[in-house]
Chain A
């Protein structure tokens, strides 16, 4: 089954229709998705700024990471759940939307960036834990993270606009 066929099937399920047509639930899920930006991205930004030496310079990097990580994980979980529900409510249109596809690619890049950071320069954090500014490769990961997540927010916001939607959809 192709992805499109899967989305077409999803769209016909009763819960998808109910969510799409709901007066309150859909807007609430959407609001949760937006407000969780504060929890997940807000904390990620603080972490990135710490790597750049722009905030909490006197706090050890590993301490900042340890304190923020549980909140970031909680925020990310809420983001994924609410995001999946938003997709489930409008599967076909979202799947065909160019900004949604850009967002998925950017999400993969953000994940890769975080994974590489954790596997390489952050492994040796003991060597630079108390430095006010993190080493070059950590700063590069931080700038990449800030750039990618900003683009994710922009792409996410753009999904709502139908400039490039296939004419068949309307």
Chain B
């Protein structure tokens, strides 16, 4: 089954149309998308850098992860809400855009990984985990999110 009819429907919604027809709405929503990016980036980097042993070595990973979790979740919610709005305004362009599909393909595992494996590793007793696994977790997390971010920026360059 093709997803094209769904994308066409998204673009035809009143919301999509309103954003498309407004001079200001798209850039303003995009700005909030970027501000949330900074927030998510900070929350993820803080923990990943700790997992890599590059910052906050004296603190427990579990403590740092718990502290930044609400900001990560909040940032993600803003990100998804603004992302959906941007998407509806140009859904058909996205359908034919390789960067969009790359982003979505990386986004799904990135979110799942953040709330399953990474959360488990960050919350675990560090003495019982080999340091290698902490580093691997951080590298997987950073790689996935970098693809999401870079591909996201690339949606604007192509098509």
Contact = CB atoms under 8 A, between A and B. Distances in A.
B40 to A, nearest CB: 7
Given A30-B153, A31-B150, A150-B35, A158 B27 contact: yes
Given A38-B41, A45-B39, A45-B42, A157 B34 contact: yes
Nearest to A36: B41
Nearest to A70: B55
Contacts of A90: none
B24 to A, nearest CB: 9
B65 to A, nearest CB: 11
A111 interface: no
A46 B64 CA distance: 12
- Prevailing SS type, chain A contact patch: helix
B41 A42 contact: yes
Nearest to B46: A46
21 contacts: A35-B41, A35-B146, A37-B34, A37-B37, A39-B41, A39-B45, A41-B42, A42-B40, A42-B41, A43-B46, A44-B42, A45-B38, A55-B71, A56-B67, A68-B55, A150-B35, A153-B34, A154-B31, A157-B34, A158-B27, A163-B23
Interface of B: 23, 27-28, 30-31, 34-35, 37-46, 49, 55-56, 58-59, 63-64, 67-68, 71, 146, 149-150, 153-154, 157
